[in-house]
């Protein structure tokens, strides 16, 4: 098994979308690469253009699967940071459509990892089934991940 890496942009949402502040969009074409053929591989999807503060707290994260992901075997999603990949969303299937809330209120799974600094990157990890799945087998899927992120730099400015 290997760990493959790809990137997708994360965007800041308009203020009228509160409490959500950021959104990332992942499609099957982002995670299906013909050379990624090993069953059980993981795909780390790093979010680029994050426009995150030097210090921030992720208050909530909700993946919303618009089109179920299809491939060979199970496909599991985690959402977190590069230092703690399952901190915000613990392992959940993305082979059915709908919201994927793994914690009550969509709060982070662990308190410690909800704080981030300039060196932390937000990411999602998709794991294929060890016995029969591979990233190259993913044929369909579309999801958006919504984040509520508190910018500690802005929140404390002027105090």
158 Cβ partners below 8 Å, 6+ apart? none
Is 20 a member of any domain?
yes
Is 22 a member of any domain?
yes
pLDDT at 130 over 90: no
Q: Which of 5-14, 19-28, 55-64 ranks highest by mean pLDDT? A: 19-28
pLDDT in tens, 49-98: 766 777 888 888 899 999 999 988 899 999 988 888 888 888 999 999 99
Is 102 a member of any domain?
yes
Is 95 a member of any domain?
yes
In angstroms, rounded to a whole number, what is the distance separating the alpha carbons of residues 68 and 92? 13
Averaged pLDDT score across all residues of the chain: 84
Count of domains observed in the chain: 1
In the numeric block, which tokens belong to residue 57?
A: 């707290």
Is 73 a member of any domain?
yes
In the numeric block, which tokens belong to residue 6?
A: 């790809």
Q: Can you tell me the mean pLDDT for 19-34?
A: 91
Is 157 a member of any domain?
no
Residue 1 CB neighbour total at 10 angstroms: 11
What CATH number is attached to the domain comprising 54?
2.60.120
The residue segments making up the domain with residue 82 are 3-151
Contact 75, 138 (CB under 8 A): yes
**17 or 43: which carries more pLDDT confidence?**
43
Is 159 a member of any domain?
no
């Amino acid at each position: 098994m290997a760990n493959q890496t790809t990137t997708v942009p994360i965007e800041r949402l308009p203020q009228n979308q509160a409490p959500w502040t950021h959104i990332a969009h992942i499609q099957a074409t982002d995670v299906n690469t013909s050379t990624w053929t090993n069953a059980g591989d993981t795909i780390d999807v790093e979010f680029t253009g994050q426009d995150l503060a030097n210090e921030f707290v992720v208050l909530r994260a909700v993946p919303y699967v618009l089109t179920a992901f299809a491939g060979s075997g199970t496909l599991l999603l985690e959402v977190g940071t590069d230092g703690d990949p399952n901190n915000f969303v613990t392992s959940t299937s993305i082979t059915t459509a709908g919201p994927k809330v793994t914690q009550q209120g969509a709060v982070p799974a662990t308190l410690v990892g909800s704080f981030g600094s300039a060196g932390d990157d937000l990411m999602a990890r998709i794991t294929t089934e060890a016995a029969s799945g591979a990233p190259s087998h993913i044929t369909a899927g579309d999801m958006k991940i919504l984040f509520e992120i508190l910018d500690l730099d802005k929140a404390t400015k002027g105090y």
